[in-house]
A and B are shown apart, each in its own frame.
Chain A
Amino acid sequence: MCVFAGGALPLASLLVWGLSGLPAFGDFHGAYALLVDRIVVAQRHATDAVTAVNFDYRALDTLGEEFILFTSVAGLAVLLREQRGERLRAITRGAGEHHFQGASYALRALTLVLVGPVLVLSAYIDAHGAITPGGGFQGGVVGAAALLLVFLGGSYLAMRRLSPHALVEAAEAAGAGGYALVGLGGMVFAAAYFQNFLGLGTPATLISAGTIPLSSLAVGLEVSGAFVLLWAEFLDQALVVRGR
């Protein structure tokens, strides 16, 4: 600990010294950002500048980020894979389900009612990424949450049945691959990788900003799949796998 204390104080003072060199809070002049603010609607017919930056101007960063998510889910599947000597607790309807219960009828009814609207909300956020705040990542997490609602409503079995492992894995990989393919489409139909090659449409309508909604949907699919897989793996570990 004394090693840490010896290092912490100098490091903290160095940080403060460095941060004091920044322009005052609120006083931002970055050329890159100001340029993007000015041209985003004219150049890409996208009214949401953040999504445009994410999926168009800096699409390569998003490709990397998407594959980070993909890799971590693959890593998780590897880390939490079935080992020799582990038994699986049998889950059956009726008697077995009581183990995971705690949910009242009111809660179950509420979650059942909510699942549909939440899924629609997720699709809405995905599709309108170029117009209003949102986009693939946000919509994808909301979509995965819809499935988690099914579990919270008290039925682990139903959640697993609604999200068969192979299908979700395929969907997630399809999303990741789909985004890379959109970039490839830019190379094939236009001059450069990730170049926006579809018609730009009118700003602030659903079909606008070229490939941005496409990218957004691909990423949404991938993120939903990834988070469902993540939660399914952890829930498996907590509820199903029994030690040696």
Chain B
Amino acid sequence: MHALPPLVLAVPLLSAALLAALNAVLPRALTDAASVACALAVTAMCALLTLKTGGLTVYWFGGFHPRAGVAVGISFAVDSIGAGMATLSAFMVSAALVYSVRYFEEIGSLYGALMLVFLAAMVGFCLTGDLFNLFVFFELMSVAAYALTAYKIEEAGPLQGAINFAITNSVGSFAMLSGIALMYGRTGALNMAQVGAALSGHRVDGLVTVALLLIMGGLLVKAAIVPLHFWLADAHAVAPVPVCVLFSGVMVELALYGLARVYWTIFSGPMSAHAAGLRATLVVLGAATAIVGATMCLAQRHLKRLLAFSTISHTGTFLLGLGLLTPAGLAASARYVPEHALLKGALFMAAGILLHRFGTVDEHDLRGRGRERTGRRARRRRRTRGGHPNGRAHARDPGLRVAALVFAAGGLGLAALPPLGSFYGKATLEDALSHTVGYGWVAAIVVASSAMTAGAILRATGRIFVGWGPRLPRHLELLRVTSEVPETRRPHDRTPAVMFVPPLLLAGAGVFLGVFTHATDGIGAAAARLTDRAGYAAHVLSQALSRANGAPRAPHESVVALDYVLAATTVVGALAISALALMKRPAWLGLPRIERRATAAIVVLRRVHSGCVNDYVAWLVAGLAAIGGALALS
């Protein structure tokens, strides 16, 4: 138990080195099995850590215990939320690795090595208690991500996506490093607890504000918050599906976790007087992200890009929870994140099944093809097709059914159909919002953005798996902006089992996780502990590993009738949006006029997402300046 924290880091790193060293020698089956086994082992170890960690487990590397409040070495400060995020990451990586076994036609063992290093970086990021160590693992995560994004270099799209991703995120990382340097300059320390202790009790001046801006800016770029979000859709559109599962499911959310950790251990002391301004800034950012993401999501026909914008919208929602700067808000986001991760991962895998079967992820091209025709007329048609490659009589493909099920479950789950899917996360978030003075109206934004993204997913479900929906009308051709890259591959006849079992598992877990965590109710207490800066500092810096006296009170979380109403509204809204898109519209609703105006707005928004990295950097600078200005004025 005491040895677990370094082992969860060392095991995947050593395995990755081994896989790379024996790159040319090992057969593919062995490397696949080895990577999956390693990832599962890490999952088990992290789960053990989560369960056994109690309050806060501190591990000092190199045996360097702090002297008189000065930390000499690097520490891992493991609490439940950190270990929980690590477990989620490891679990998603295992699922993605299993899925990759048949997804790629040919890969070397370097893919497995890259994924394991990515896993190690995520785990290290979650567990560390040192500011510069956080940066190092953040960079390791990023570099592995750049390499994995550009994996399919045979195609044109991945290059541009990877370049946009790499340049914008690197700028974010260097901003974060500058912020860390500023903090070091002020406090002379790199251990988070020590920095927090040194800062508390002093007022906030220019240096602390700018350091917060820079560190936050770097993390928000990775978390894809507007206007720093442009890279995510590009990267997701082109990265291989298992990699997208990880990006959307954990990497982006990990950046928000980092923000929470940095804020609560370091800045919450001095910033408590200015919390209102910071809260307003973060809530505005979160709301803008949720709306922009949801709007762009509706306008996509490329399935992976659609799901990517849905992720952007959801991270905006998570930021809303974090941005409230209360334990209740943090607990709500902590509840919401795993539910979203599992469902989104399953959705991406289902999109991958469609890609594998039909060679395309364009929603309109796939119209009706997800449906497998049964019955005598279909069988006769199959027999008479003769030489057509798909005409041979073949057994029904379970993969398509799984994909249909996952899409429907994902859409409804993300719309928070009570009590499944993300209902509890969303409900506690709306609760926290309404309990915070002046922010009750934000719940409406949460409902609207969830409805829009779920509506887009349900629309895709209807169009692909049932064949509803009109053929593309002429005036909507205008929406086909050249920034969409159709992904094409050689189609297959069947879906292998390793490709449809993981999404089924993930979707099932995502649907029922909320019920489970609501019943056990450890998350509230964990959130309260994370927000307790003094307790953290005392525990980390004291020589004796004594438990901080008096665990902080868990926030009051309840699910009231209003939450059920809001969830029902969301589901109805999602179904309505998808129905509007798919069905013939009655003329009396006056929709064409609204639609034309909405289309004009959407065209402008899409043109802003230009695909050109120069523009992205410009928006990054403007965004940082705006955030900084808001912070300075508060």
Contact = CB atoms under 8 A, between A and B. Distances in A.
B140 A11 contact: no
A8 B188 CA distance: 29
Nearest to B178: A15
A36 interface: yes
A232 B336 CA distance: 47
Contact of B61 (A6, A172, A181, A193): A193
B73 interface: yes
A240 interface: no
Interface in A39-98: 56-61, 63-65, 67-68, 70-72, 74-79, 81, 83-84
Given A18-B211, A22-B207, A83-B154, A60 B18 contact: no
A14 B628 contact: yes
A78 B72 contact: no
B71 interface: yes
Nearest to B24: A166
Given A14-B628, A33-B188, A192-B60, A74 B147 contact: yes
Nearest to A165: B24
B625 A71 contact: no
What is the predominant secondary structure among interface residues of chain B facing chain A?
helix
Contact of B625 (A14, A58, A81): A14
Given A10-B629, A29-B188, A68-B140, A18 B146 contact: no
Contacts of A75: 114, 143-144, 146-148, 150
Contacts of A65: 136
Interface stretch (B87-95, B419-427, B570-578, B613-621): B613-621
The A interface is mostly helix, strand or loop, or mixed, namely helix
B51 interface: no
Interface string B116-136: 010011001000000011001
Nearest to A73: B20
B213 A14 contact: yes
A83 B189 contact: no
A23 B148 CA distance: 42
B470 interface: no
Interface in B419-474: none
Contacts of A84: 154
B147 A78 contact: yes
Contact of B113 (A7, A22, A74): A74
Nearest to A183: B10
B218 to A, nearest CB: 14
B500 interface: no
B569 interface: no
B167 interface: no
Given A11-B625, A169-B20, A180-B13, A59 B62 contact: yes
B73 A57 contact: yes
A74 B189 contact: no
A121 interface: no
A4 interface: yes
Given A11-B625, A191-B63, A173 B18 contact: yes
Nearest to B124: A64
Contacts, number: 223
B182 to A, nearest CB: 6
A33 B70 CA distance: 10
B117 A18 contact: no
Nearest to A69: B143
A191 B16 CA distance: 25
A19 B182 contact: yes
Contacts of A63: 9, 13
Given A19-B182, A63-B13, A190 B63 contact: yes
Contact of B622 (A4, A18, A76): A4
B211 to A, nearest CB: 7
A58 B628 CA distance: 32
A1 interface: yes
Contact of A79 (B73, B153, B211): B153
B17 interface: yes
Contacts of A184: 10, 14
B594 interface: no
Interface string B1-45: 001001001100110111011011000000000000000000000
B206 interface: yes
B14 A8 contact: no
A176 interface: yes
A74 B19 CA distance: 11
Interface string A176-194: 1100110110110011111
Contacts of A30: 184, 187-189
Nearest to A166: B24
B186 A21 contact: yes
A180 B67 CA distance: 26
A74 B132 contact: no
A70 B17 contact: yes
B114 A6 contact: no
A19 B6 CA distance: 36
A195 B62 CA distance: 4
Nearest to B75: A60
Given A72-B147, A173-B20, A174-B21, 9 more contacts: A10-B626, A28-B188, A32-B188, A64-B124, A64-B139, A67-B120, A75-B150, A79-B153, A172-B20
29 contacts: A3-B618, A3-B621, A7-B621, A7-B623, A9-B625, A10-B629, A11-B628, A14-B210, A18-B211, A21-B210, A22-B186, A22-B207, A29-B188, A35-B70, A58-B132, A59-B61, A59-B62, A64-B140, A70-B17, A70-B117, A72-B147, A74-B117, A81-B153, A173-B18, A177-B21, A183-B10, A184-B14, A192-B62, A193-B61
Interface of B: 3, 6, 9-10, 13-14, 16-18, 20-21, 23-24, 59-64, 67, 70-74, 108, 110-111, 113-114, 117, 120-121, 124, 132-133, 136-137, 139-140, 143-144, 146-148, 150-151, 153-154, 182, 184-190, 194, 205-211, 213-214, 615, 617-619, 621-626, 628-629, 632
The 8 residue pairs across chains A and B that have the minimum distance between CB atoms: A18-B210, A75-B147, A30-B188, A21-B207, A7-B622, A173-B21, A193-B6, A177-B17
